[in-house]
Amino acid sequence: MSVLDEIVANTRAEVARRKSAVPRATLERHCDAAPAPRDFEGGLRPSPGAVRLIAEVKKASPSRGVLSSGLDPVALATTYATHGAHAISVLTDEKYFQGSLDLLGRIRGAVEVPLLRKDFTIDEYQLWEARAAGADAVLLIIAILEPPHLRDLGAAAKGLGLAALVECHTAAEVDAALAAGSRIIGINNRDLHTFETRIETTLELLPLVPPGPILVSESGFVDPAQVRRVVEAGAHAILVGEGLVTAGDVGARIRELTLQGERVDSPTASAAAPPTAQFNG
């Protein structure tokens, strides 16, 4: 069993446990009382010569272990927002990433930018959890979802007012994201089976995506040169976790990775308009 298979199996068990502890009807009542979602898609929509940043609150990972033992998630998220992050990704998996669902609500109260619930979404119940906890978007990983399941979760997310970042790692997964009408497509530079990270993954897959979706390059960014490469190839946004969590000066690292003071023209930046789609992902 791969690490990814192990994580998904654990997620199934955890979701079953939480369903028993908190009925969906309870989550629905919380969602009814929740404020309107923030515009995650709008926050990532690019302007010429700019790059958007999803900054990730991430204490640990299966491949690296604990990244920052003294991490204050709310303080880190506040720093991200203060220094110009356009959205914040919050890891909510407890066993493998030392996150929690509770973090979403705590961070939402401290920042004004949209929040992504970063987890292994396999059940509609998790969408209700995300909305009730304060998320504005969810992650849908094609590697763990069959096409009908992806479409169903995407439609359910849209019904709840949640955007969906649809994550790909291969050409076949890009095709699946496009077939589902995804509006925000993430290309994960980290192979979820081997945990190897290659920026080239984005460079290889970007040409397969026609104009329309917002394109996010995920993981592996440690210096501005990498960002320039993916933006010049057509990426509109980047998602950065470890490169920010382990930085000595988070504000300075954000300025570097968002290429502040530079102009980098993306050949598809002006083309990132919402296509006709089945769901807001």
The residues carrying an active-site annotation are 56, 58, 118, 167, 188, 218-219
Cα distance between residue 162 and residue 38, in whole Å: 9
Cα distance between residue 14 and residue 35, in whole Å: 27
The token pair at 133 is 């906890």
Are the C-beta atoms of residues 86 and 52 closer than 8 Å to each other? yes
Give the contacts of 45 (CB within 8 A, at least 6 positions apart). Answer: 52, 214, 236, 272
DSSP assignment letter at 281 = -
The token pair at 44 is 């990532």
Q: Residue 80: phi, psi to the nearest 5?
A: -55, -50
**46: nearest Cα among 268, 257, 204:** 268
**60: nearest Cα among 105, 115, 100, 99:** 99
Give the contacts of 178 (CB within 8 A, at least 6 positions apart). Answer: 185, 209, 210, 213
Are the C-beta atoms of residues 206 and 231 closer than 8 Å to each other? no
Q: What is the CA radius of gyration of the chain?
A: 17
Are the C-beta atoms of residues 180 and 154 closer than 8 Å to each other? yes
